[in-house]
Amino acid sequence: MAERGRLSTVAVATVAAVVGGAASAGVVLIAQGDDGSSEPAASIRPAVDPSDAARAAEESESQPAPTIERTSVGEVYASASPSVALIEATVSGPSDSPFGPGGGGGQASGSGFVYDDQGHIITNAHVVEGATEVQVSFDGAREIPAEVRGTLESTDVAVLSVDPAEIPADALPIADSDAVTVGDTAIAIGNPFGLERTVTTGIVSALQREIQAPDGAPITDVIQTDAAINPGNSGGPLLDAAGRVIGINTQIASSGGGNDGVGFAVPSNTVTRVADQLIANGEAELAYLGVQSAPAESNQDGVLIDEVTAGSGAAAAGLESGDVVTAVNGEAVNDPGELTAAILSKGVGDQVSLTVVRGGETLTIDATLGSRPDAG
């Protein structure tokens, strides 16, 4: 994000100005005259003759309205909210992390959701950072002890493990976040300020955002939403209109630390890729090419390679500073974020085919991906 302000308890807070407007029938548009005076330029009025409107009303009374099947927010909430947990962590001391969900005195709280029928719960890594004890609750009273199965700070994803017999709800279905589009319904369920199972709703405001993880690494392909997200929502699910998880709520951008309608969720495809590794091994890896990149020249497609890291897959494959990568496995990339996302969608040890322009010549370079080093 280009401009940074102070950090809130769940987000890197940035200051953003939003300008909007609205128009309705009968609004008078004002134009500036040649002499500097203001005068009505046009009047926006309904473009329907009164007699036509009367006939349309009669016809609508005689014909039944079409039936549109919808899943309401209430239905999604009723189905999904039992699977959303309140997570309370005792930490060794007050956290200095700007991502911590607050509480002070070595206590922190956040949200999570049931991932499978084996007792695994997904949350944010920053919710349980430094935790010596973790408890989860589904009914507002009974606390269930949980263990941290694993975390990956560079994606802000954590998996908790509890006795599956103690979980009173089913796992939430997971959507393919690559299929999400701007304007889709977005429903957040969590525990803002400790207010359990609060639901807020909005839309998917933007896609392919990039935010900073607790360890400083970039998290790519992030979903932006205007559904209200506040301290305590961290780790809770962002759902689509069918009640499927499209991401986990992670950060907000705010001028004052509260909800300004700009929230961010780690996409579900990243969550599942990391969570499955954490469940299997207690740790997770991200694929790594080993380059620093920048946008190509304005008249050129692709991504400019500024620097190649020694010992990386990029170096072994022969990538050079000054190369321009235009595609990964045949898929065009036109900015550094797209290149990063293309690499992170692969696994450690995978081979990728890079289309590269070098000195006016187009080359195909195959590179084997390594493991991303810790950002800290």
Span 241-264, pLDDT tens digits: 999 999 999 998 887 777 778 999
Q: What is the pLDDT of residue 4?
A: 35
Q: What is the pLDDT of residue 20?
A: 32
Question: CA nearest 279: which of 156, 153, 157, 110?
Answer: 157
Q: What is the pLDDT of residue 64?
A: 54
Q: What is the pLDDT of residue 119?
A: 95
Which residue bears the tokens 């897959």?
313
Q: What is the pLDDT of residue 369?
A: 95
Q: What is the pLDDT of residue 277?
A: 94
Q: What is the pLDDT of residue 14?
A: 26
Q: What is the pLDDT of residue 37?
A: 39
Residues with pLDDT less than 50, the chain = 1-54, 56-57, 60, 65-69, 96-104, 376
Q: What is the pLDDT of residue 218?
A: 84
Q: What is the pLDDT of residue 375?
A: 55
Question: CA nearest 84: which of 199, 181, 180?
Answer: 199
Position 44, amino acid: I
- The dihedral region occupied by 118, where left means phi > 0, alpha psi between -120 and 50, and beta the remainder, is alpha
Q: What is the pLDDT of residues 75-97, one digit of tens each?
A: 999 999 999 999 999 887 555 44
Q: What is the pLDDT of residue 341?
A: 83
Catalytic site residues?
Answer: 126, 156, 234
Cα angle: 65, vertex 68, 72; to 5 degrees: 125
With H, G, I as helix, E, B as strand and everything else as coil, classify residue 142. coil
Q: Domains in the chain, ordered, with CATH? A: 80-166 (2.40.10.10), 177-281 (2.40.10.10), 287-371 (2.30.42.10)
From CA 339, how far away is CA 361, in angstroms rounded? 20
Q: Is 278 exposed, middle or buried (0-12, 13-18, 19+ CB in 10 A)?
A: buried
With H, G, I as helix, E, B as strand and everything else as coil, classify residue 353. strand
Q: What is the pLDDT of residue 344?
A: 84
